[in-house]
Amino acid sequence: MAVYKLKTPISEEDVRKLKVNDVIYITGTMVTARDSAHKRALEFFKEEKPLPIDLQGLAVFHCGPIVRKEDEKWTVIAAGPTTSTRMDIFEDEFIKAFKVRVVIGKGGMGKRTTEGMKKYGAVYGAFTGGAAVLAAKAIKNVEGVEWFDLGMPEALWILDVEEFGPLIVAIDTHGNNLFENVQKEVEGNKQKIYERLGV
């Protein structure tokens, strides 16, 4: 379990060095995107319209933050990760189109995303579920917000972060998926547990 501190823009070469179980901390620019933002971004790409921000080398965060506006300035109050599997239907295309290098969320992602990450060079970083205060503390500034018409949780929040983490690399560029590995192990333990309980 190696620890890496990455600064955006992150190169494809850098993420290809990472392996499942590594711990990463990210400094630089992170952009939140949930279902609606993924969908709209891919529509823009199809229509060859530019996104409001160039995502190449950045981290995308599956998160619907609680943000407060005071004196024309946005502050993130809580920013825990949301369940990533919902974005499985978009993520491989998203990585291919926009060259994001780190995808952050909770609960892991499926086969399609794992394949996409291998092919186009990105990793999945699992952030501790519910740890909203820890996440908010690493967010130093809200650089901007785009697509606010999607609603506060679904908008693209452009965040300036310092050592955002710890993120566990749960999908790497070599086709490894930590959540799948754990799932297999858990399946393997099932019989042992039944035997112990005598059921």
Partner 1 sequence: MIDAKAIRVIVFNCYLLYGRGVLVIKNIIENVAVELLRQAVTKLPPDVKEALQRAHREEESEVGKTQLEAILNNVELAEKTSTPMCQDTGVIIFYVKAGAQAKDLDKIKEAIINATRRATKEVPLRPNSVGIFTRKNTGDNTGRYIPYINWDVISGDTIELTAFPKGGGSENICQLGMIRPGDGLNGLKKFVVDTMLKAGGKACPPNILGVGVGGGADIAMKIAKAALLRPINQPNPDPKVAKLEKELYEALNMTGIGPMGLGGKFTVLGVNVDYANRHPASYPVAVAGQCWAARRASARIHLDGTVEYLTHKVR
129/175 with CB nearer partner 1: 129
The CB-of-25 to partner 1 minimum distance in angstroms stands at 11
The CB-of-183 to partner 1 minimum distance in angstroms stands at 7
CB 8 within 8 A of CB 29: yes
Per DSSP bridges, beta strands 73-78 and 66-70 are antiparallel
50/198 with CB nearer partner 1: 198
| List 20, 37, 38, 154, catalytic entry | 38
Does residue 62 carry a catalytic annotation? no
Dihedral sign, Cα of residue 99, residue 156, residue 80, residue 25: positive
- Binding footprint of partner 1 on the chain (CB under 8 A): 1, 21, 23, 65-66, 77-80, 83, 106-108, 126, 128-134, 136-137, 166, 168, 170, 178-179, 181-183, 185-186, 189-190, 192-194, 196-199
41/79 with CB nearer partner 1: 79
For tokens 């060079």, what's the residue? 121
Q: Which residues are catalytic?
A: 38
